[in-house]
Structure formats: structure tokens, C-alpha cells
Structure 1
Amino acid sequence: MIYCNWCIWKNRNLLKFEGRGKAAKVLVKEVELLVEEFRSGNTKEKLPVVVRTQAWRPPREGWYKANVDGAVFKETNSCGVGVVIRNDQGQIMGAMSKRLNLPLGAVEVEAKAFEEGLRLAGDLGLNQVILEGDAQSITNALMGKSLPPSSIQRLIAGASRWKQWVQVWSASYVRRDGNGAAHVMAQNAKSISDCVVWVEDTPPMIQCQVHRDVLMLNQVSV
């Protein structure tokens, strides 16, 4: 409506002061062009949303990767730890869901997951293990890149003794979408009373996830 009034007012002034005006059809066309120009200038172009995902990556040959994760179950005042250990071909060496009847916080249970992951790798007789989780503050602390949160300082300080289980190990960070199998195993701990371990067998609750990880691994290597 504002563009129509403006065109009429402008045409009236032309007619009054300059003795010339525009035909009604011309005015209508001008209004349509102004409206279209306004709409074009105020319409935000919707760019496609790019969602970046991080797939599971195998360790180098001769190494094993232990993906770990923790979960807090506030309603039962307990928490869970999930561990999935695979070789450089993506094959399951061992997996674990463990429930801890302790009121640990998110950071504490994540740190505990790293300890439990390496302990399981040692029980399986594996050497040269990469501990991988989606808690970057913990991986940085384990590798000496930063100071640990105060609540897990004692656990991190004791990590030097983890060599009693696995002589050669390191830690690395991965985003949650690259740690999916361990996440499921941690959540599964909510439904058990103590600890369940799988040796060279894929837990049914992560079969699809592990299969998907291997498929993506093959696509990358092609």
C-alpha cells in the first residue's frame, strides 16, 4: 500500500508542478516493480546446511583402538562405562558394558571409562593401544597437553601406573559421532547390574553401528 501511495503522490506533483503525469497503467506497473524489488532485497537466501560428521577411524597396523565413553544415570544415582576395542581391520577384540553404583559426575565417569578401557585391553593381552573418547579435556590431560579438572586429578596422576596393564598406550580425542559404539555400550550399562564383557564377539546392541563403521571405512579406502 505504501508504494501505491508514494507513486500516486509523485505523479500528482509532476502533474501539478510540471504539467505532466503518467497514465494509470504505467503507475500500476511501477508499483509492481517496486514491490518485487522490495521482496527480492529482503528475502534471505537459504544456504544448504552442511553437517560434518566424523567416522570411526582404525588404528595403524599392529595397534588396537579402545573407544570409551561414560554415562550418568541420575535417576538411580549410578553411572555406566562402555568400551569397544577393535583392530586395524575394524574387527571386535573385546567390548564391555559396566555399571558403577557410584554418584560420579560426567567428567569423573568419562575419566573412569579411559581407565576401564585400558584395563580391559590388558586383560585381553593386547599391546599398543590407543584410548579414544569424546571428552577432550581428559584426552588432553592424559597426554600432558593441559591440566586435568580438579575432580579427576588423582586418577590422571595415577595413569602412569596403567603400563602395568598395557605397556604402550596413548590417548586421542574423537567427536561423539565417531564414538557411537562406545556410547551405546555405556548407555547399555543402565540395564545391567554389574559388568558384561564380550571377547572377539560383537554385542548385539552395536552390531549395526560396527557394520556401518566398517562400511564407511571401506568407502574411504576405495
Structure 2
Amino acid sequence: MEDQTAVALTTKQLWHMRNKWVFESQFLSPQQVTKQVSTSLPELHMLKGVQEKKVSLASSPSQWCKPFFNHYKINWDAAIHKVHCRVGTGVVIRDWNVCVTTTLRSTCASFLDPLLGEAIAALRAVKFCAELGLRTIILEGDSLNVVNAINGQEESWSLVGLLILDIKKLLKQVGVWQVKHVPRQTNAVAHCLAKSSLDLPEKSIHVEDYPHCIHNLLG
């Protein structure tokens, strides 16, 4: 089990190294990655008991639950600015160790339609996963209509329906995926990111970090 943990941790660090280079133009050498793995392993064992306790407290459907080993969970949400006719998207990616690996906040001009806004946010979340090269994912959103549309077989030529078709095409490129509906309180982190994105002049991505607005939600 310890060898499997080391392999998983190395894979995760390599993925982070790639993201640092792609999104922040920062290069980490293989030696730095090896050092990070060696440093993180003892800390991981120390935190294991604490994490297991957190998981036991997250048994309620209203609480966020960590994904299976080697899976990533992506929560998305949308927020609407009625005055400026804009939709804000919030996406948070967490791994099986309950660590936030990446966040995304972005906005675009759109009609003031909540369902359309949720579909736009869902599409942006799936595109983000594809850009990051994630292969085993669980997507969670609080729009039951959008979740049902993604999981369903019915096709629609409405604007929302066309976005759903785009989402389905992208998911075929991902690999193993699930799309689940969760209550609003479970999706609080993504909602906060979406709401704060409306105040940003441009897209904001955090890698191995997250914006201050969600600090108190992650505890």
C-alpha cells in the first residue's frame, strides 16, 4: 500500500508540474518533484487519520464527500449578474486526498437565463478537465435539469440542448466519468467561486492553491 501511495503521489506531482508549466510558465525539475514526494509521504501518513475522520463526518448527503482513490471530483456552478447581463462560472477540482488541486473562475456575456448559465458553467468545467488531461472524474452540480440532460439520451436543438451535446462529446474524450446532482449547500465552494468571478476583469486559474474567497469554506 505504501508503494501504491508513492506512485500515486509521484503521478500527482508530475501532473502539477505539467500544470505549472502550462498555466504559469514555471518549470519544476525531476529532482524537485522527487524531493516533494519524499517530503509529502510522511506528512500524508500523519494526516491520514485526520482525513478519515473528516470522511466519516461527511456521510450526510448535504456534505461534500471525497472521491475514490485516483479519482478527481469537479464541482461547478454558475452565477448571474442581472445588471451587466453576464454569467460567472466557478469550478473547483479536488483529489482523493481532499486537496484542492485547481480552481477556475471565468465570466462571459449571456442572456439572463439560469438554466443557460448552468449549462455554460457545466461546459466550461468539462472543457477545463479536458485541458488538464484528467481521465477519471466525477462532476457535481446543483442544477438537476442540467445533470439529467447530460445523463439522458434525449437531444434538443435549443441553445441549452446544443451546449449539452457539446458536453457529451467532450466527455467521450475524458475516459471514466460520472455526473451527479448535489444540493446547493454541498456545492457551496463552486457557488462562491462563480459569484466572485463576476467581479473579475478576466479569467482566473489557481494551481495547487485557491482564492481567498473560499478559505473559510474549506476549513
Q: Same fold (TM over 0.5)?
A: yes
Task: Choose from 94, 117, 120 the match for 2:128.
Answer: 120
Which letter maps to 2:125?
G
Deviation per residue, 1:59-112 (Å, 9 max, x gap)? 111111110000110111111000001012210111011011222411011011
Task: Choose from 168, 175, 184 the match for 1:167.
Answer: 175
Percent identity for Structure 1 against Structure 2: 29
Which letter maps to 1:197?
I
1:178 corresponds to? 186
* In structure 1, C-alpha distance between the alignment counterparts of 2:62 and 2:100, rounded to whole Å: 20
Distance 1:131 1:149, change over 3 A: farther
Distance 1:149 1:55, change over 3 A: farther
The secondary structure found in structure 2 opposite 1:89 is coil
Which letter maps to 2:134?
L
Gaps in structure 2 of 5+ consecutive residues: 1-59
* In structure 1, C-alpha distance between the alignment counterparts of 2:128 and 2:115, rounded to whole Å: 20
1:47 corresponds to? none
2:63 corresponds to? 55
Which letter maps to 1:187?
K
Gaps in structure 1 of 5+ consecutive residues: 1-51, 212-222
1:204 corresponds to? 212
Q: How far 1:163 moved relative to its partner?
A: 3.5
Give RMSD over aligned pairs. Answer: 2.1
Which letter maps to 2:115?
V
The secondary structure found in structure 1 opposite 2:80 is strand
- The residue correspondences of 1:53-132 to structure 2 (distance < 5 A) are 54-132=62-140
* In structure 2, C-alpha distance between the alignment counterparts of 1:148 and 1:61, rounded to whole Å: 36
Deviation per residue, 1:141-176 (Å, 9 max, x gap)? 111176779441111122232046522222000000
* In structure 1, C-alpha distance between the alignment counterparts of 2:147 and 2:84, rounded to whole Å: 28
Task: Choose from 170, 188, 207 the match for 2:196.
Answer: 188
Q: How far 1:185 moved relative to its partner?
A: 0.3
The secondary structure found in structure 2 opposite 1:72 is strand
Query: Does 2:159 align with 1:142?
Result: no
Contact 2:126/2:167 (CA < 8 Å) preserved in 1? no
Contact 1:67/1:182 (CA < 8 Å) preserved in 2? yes
The secondary structure found in structure 1 opposite 2:83 is helix
Distance 1:148 1:170, change over 3 A: farther
* In structure 2, C-alpha distance between the alignment counterparts of 1:194 and 1:104, rounded to whole Å: 20
Which letter maps to 2:107?
R
Which letter maps to 1:192?
L
The secondary structure found in structure 1 opposite 2:163 is helix
- When structure 1 is superposed on structure 2, of 60-69 and 164-173 the one drifting more is 164-173
Using the size of structure 2 for normalisation, the TM-score is 0.67
Which letter maps to 2:187?
N
